[in-house]
Structure 1
């Protein structure tokens, strides 16, 4: 499984802890930054990870900022991406089992690295059971409807 990991400056140290944990477990990791505590805008990192997943270059992503909220919102703006903010193992497991979330987000100012490692492990070892497939398909269908509507507004066509 190829995993993307990324953070803003608020999540940098936490990301490094999680990255080391995953590397020790043998995961194939791609680090989308940031690479220091210097300020960066979290949407840039979140969009890069979401795009890589959308293009099939990455299987799942982990994004970290101060609260996990900003990166979840940003990544979720990318068509076809479901990002789940999780700070406990049950939610992380359900993000995958029920929602087929491609991206896990966490807040470095909310939980510590030891809990974060457990959350990440719960997320990565869970696999979509398709029990909520009908609901996930409704979300996907509505998103496609919005995208189509937006394209029609931009192009002025009904196709």
Structure 2
């Protein structure tokens, strides 16, 4: 198959399975669909060799690289809404601003959507479950939606 129709339900898992298989022998890659992060902790020569191996693996399965959308030899990079650097990773400020810009929910479905947005960054929120409790209480089946100061304080 030369092109994969991405509107099919199975397209993304099929693509991910194939790219994972192609890069399985390389420990330096983190892959999410067509976003590939190549991480090396040593020197530029080792990084260059890892990049060459990734290119070869992708070429072997007929994939092409869009160099205009690529970043090479960077000490800091945005990948999947996170900023990665030598110190680790943290949520990108653009995404934090987007979550902060969400208006207070007016119904249960909006509470659910807000919590999903916040949960993407849960690993960076100390005591997330405790902080979210006033909002998660609104998701109980038999509870009536009532926005109180407790919910507003978390929000």
Report TM bin, short chain. under 0.3
Tell me which structure has the larger Cα radius of gyration. 2
Structure ranking higher on relative contact order (CA contacts 8 Å, 6+ apart): 1
**TM-score with structure 1 setting the length:** 0.22
